[in-house]
Structure 1
Amino acid sequence: MPPKLKTLLIWVVAIFLVYAIVTSPDRAADLVKALWDVITGAFASFGRFFSSLTA
């Protein structure tokens, strides 16, 4: 991917995120909480997997 296109896409995504947060902060907070729950659940699953390997 050309560097200028990559930079443009990053700016477009950043502007969209700011727009989404400003227009609907409650929904944006719910999405961040849901994403955080997925990430912590994945790490907990990895932990259980590796601990079951040693048992």
Structure 2
Amino acid sequence: MPSEAPPRTEQPARSADVYYSNCAAARAAGAAPLHSGKPGYRSGLDRDNHGVACE
């Protein structure tokens, strides 16, 4: 009898694991606006450097 695979646990995405090439891509994914410290945020998308990108 085959053994069952252990249940998968969902892990929160790390900021480095999520990348949007531009704000249009973030909006298309339904992720905008992106907040500092959250997955997908990077300073290159935050035009006024206040911690919120693609607003």
TM-score (norm. length: structure 2): 0.25
Higher alpha-carbon Rg:
1
Which structure: greater helix fraction? 1
Query: Which fold has the larger relative contact order, with Cα–Cα distance below 8 Å and residues 6 or more apart in sequence?
Result: 2
TM-score (norm. length: structure 1): 0.25
